[in-house]
Amino acid sequence: MDILNLPKFNILSIREHEYDFLIQVVTNSPPLACPHCGCQANLYKHGNREHVCLDLPIHGKRVELLVKRQRYRCRVCTQTFWERLDHTIDERRNCTKRLLSYVEKQSLKRTFVSIAEDVGLNEKTIRNIFRDYINYLEETFRFVTPNWLGIEKIHIIKPRCVLTNIEGRTLLDILPNRNKETVVEFLSSLPNKGRIQYFTMDMWKPYKDAVKAVFPKATIIVDKFHVVRLANQVLENIHKQLREDLSATERRGLMHDRLILLKRHNELTETDKITLDLWTKNYPILGIAYSLKESFFDIWDGDSRQMAFIKYNDWKAKIPKELQSAFVPLIEAMMNWEEEIFAYFDHRIANDYTESLNSLFRVINRLGRGYSFEALRANIIFTEALAEDCKPKYQKRPLRGTKISTLIEKLEKGEL
């Protein structure tokens, strides 16, 4: 029985040990012509040697192949040569090509140490195979430049930059950092840059500077999620400061209040409303802050940029003197990003896109602890089963990106 299933080899012997198999093989397709002069039928054997390489594990045991490699001499040109093994063996990595392919796929999902223990290659070799594979994927796939590009932050070990296709609701790439230079390099490398008309981003100045450097005429929009989140942060800071000034007994009266404060008023249960009314009577400043937060959220329900701008100025005028310092971060952000924030009312982002993106970030943050950044990025970006429109084109595969909804489902099921 041929347990190897390598058509180019015949098995001479099999030795099974506790942790591995040692299998001696010989090629079954001798050369037909001299590679030096091209003459045929004028070859004779001129010695041999054993070539040792690794193959796929069998029955959970590592496999070492002892290949009896034949040397030949040409009677016409007298040159010698070794028979070729490159149809089956990658001599650079000293393993079979199918083992190399196995390691490439596994390196996206598992630690290099575990793969090394599984197949018998050393960890450094596994790492080098992974890097070569990623370089190959980078050269093989090309991103289809979208009309509307999203730039966001995600924390994988440290803050990274995430690029998304807003209209297609797909993930395009994850950059190693959020530096202006890194984002400029990515944007500059995009094919058909003229397709991009809109950028959505969080309020991180290097993103805006990078876009302005490469796309000076593009429209930049700040998603309302990033703006209203600042209002929540202001309320949390007010609440935190209030608790610090209370006695231990009074603090107990504000237990579990954070989640209630972050809810919209129409989301409050009857119990939440009773609790909130009690806090408002005992701590009026907290009630005022909550009302300001709610009215700030209401601005984003407006129908037009002009109406939103008017409502914002009315809202700002209602901030009492004792709370003005607390709202400074929000007001400064509105001032520094005014054009980009109010551009939202001309180019709205669907709520389901923002919600799915936030869900994706939570899942990746959780899973990212067990992956290297490079492996996690490669697994997400280059998984062919998730990529759309991967038919060969111009010698590269056009990659529109990974559907965020599908990606979340796969990640949560542990299929990546």
| pLDDT for the residue numbered 193 | 87
Has residue 246 been placed in a domain?
yes
Tell me: the pLDDT tens digits for 182-240? Answer: 999 999 988 888 899 999 999 999 999 999 999 999 999 998 999 999 999 999 898 88
Has residue 367 been placed in a domain?
no
Residue 134 half-sphere exposure, CB side, CA atoms within 13 Å?
18
Tokens linked to 193: 């840059």
Residue type, 49: R
Whether 83 and 126 map to the same domain: the answer is yes
Q: Are strands 198-201 and 402-403 parallel, antiparallel or unpaired?
A: unpaired
Q: Which residues of 157-182 are buried (b: 16+ CB within 10 A; e: fewer)?
A: eeebbbbbbbebbbbbbbbeebebeb
| pLDDT for the residue numbered 388 | 47
Tell me: the pLDDT tens digits for 60-106? Answer: 999 999 999 999 999 999 999 999 898 899 988 899 999 999 999 88
**What gap in Å lies between CA 99 and CA 88, rounded to an integer?**
10
DSSP classification of residue 246: S
Torsion angle, alpha carbons of 319, 324, 326, 328, to 10:
100
Helix (H) / strand (E) element for 161: namely strand 158-165
Residue 264's SS3 state is coil
DSSP alpha helix (H) spans, 170-302: 180-189, 205-214, 224-244, 248-252, 258-262, 270-282, 284-299
DSSP classification of residue 401: -
Among 109, 99, 108, 9, CA closest to 51: 9
Tell me: the pLDDT tens digits for 104-159? Answer: 988 887 888 899 999 999 999 999 999 999 888 887 777 788 999 999 988 877 88
In this structure, are residues 153 and 161 in contact, taking their beta carbons and an 8 Å threshold?
yes
Whether 296 and 330 map to the same domain: the answer is yes
Whether 336 and 401 map to the same domain: the answer is no
Whether 13 and 132 map to the same domain: the answer is yes
Has residue 153 been placed in a domain?
yes
Tokens linked to 413: 């099921």
Has residue 415 been placed in a domain?
no
Has residue 355 been placed in a domain?
no
What's the rounded mean pLDDT across residues 19-37? 92
Residue 345's SS3 state is helix
Strand partners, 308: none
Query: Which structural domain, as residue segments, surrounds residue 318?
Result: 224-345
Domain end (from 105, 137, 169): 137
Has residue 41 been placed in a domain?
yes
In this structure, are residues 357 and 404 in contact, taking their beta carbons and an 8 Å threshold?
yes
pLDDT at 41 > cutoff 90: no
Whether 26 and 77 map to the same domain: the answer is yes
Q: Which residues of 348-380 are buried (b: 16+ CB within 10 A; e: fewer)?
A: ebeeebbebbebbbebbeebbeebbebbbbbbb
Domain end (from 116, 137, 158): 137
| pLDDT for the residue numbered 385 | 42
Has residue 414 been placed in a domain?
no
DSSP classification of residue 321: H
Percentage of the chain beyond pLDDT 90 is 51
Whether 234 and 198 map to the same domain: the answer is no
Helix (H) / strand (E) element for 123: namely helix 123-140
Whether 169 and 252 map to the same domain: the answer is no
pLDDT at 394 > cutoff 60: no
pLDDT at 250 > cutoff 80: no
**What gap in Å lies between CA 354 and CA 225, rounded to an integer?**
8
Average per-residue pLDDT for the chain: 86
CB 395: neighbour CB atoms within 10 A?
8
Q: What angle do CA 289, 291, 295 make, to 5 degrees?
A: 120
Whether 127 and 19 map to the same domain: the answer is yes
| pLDDT for the residue numbered 393 | 39
In this structure, are residues 311 and 302 in contact, taking their beta carbons and an 8 Å threshold?
yes
Whether 113 and 28 map to the same domain: the answer is yes
Whether 199 and 233 map to the same domain: the answer is no
| pLDDT for the residue numbered 107 | 87
What's the rounded mean pLDDT across residues 316-327? 94
Has residue 241 been placed in a domain?
yes
Whether 72 and 180 map to the same domain: the answer is no
In this structure, are residues 190 and 140 in contact, taking their beta carbons and an 8 Å threshold?
no
- CATH number of the domain where residue 192 is located: 3.30.420
* Cα–Cα distances in angstroms (integers) from residue 369 to residues 104, 162, 262, 365, 412, in the given order: 21, 17, 28, 7, 14
Count of the separate structural domains present in the chain? 3
Tell me: the pLDDT tens digits for 370-390? Answer: 567 887 788 777 765 444 444
Q: What are phi and psi of 237, to 5 degrees?
A: -65, -40
Strand partners, 82: 71
DSSP classification of residue 12: E
**What gap in Å lies between CA 400 and CA 416, rounded to an integer?**
19
Tell me: the pLDDT tens digits for 274-307? Answer: 888 887 888 888 889 999 999 999 998 888 999 9
Whether 22 and 131 map to the same domain: the answer is yes
Nearby residues of 394 by Cβ (< 8 Å), 6 or more positions away: 142
Domain end (from 137, 172, 203): 137
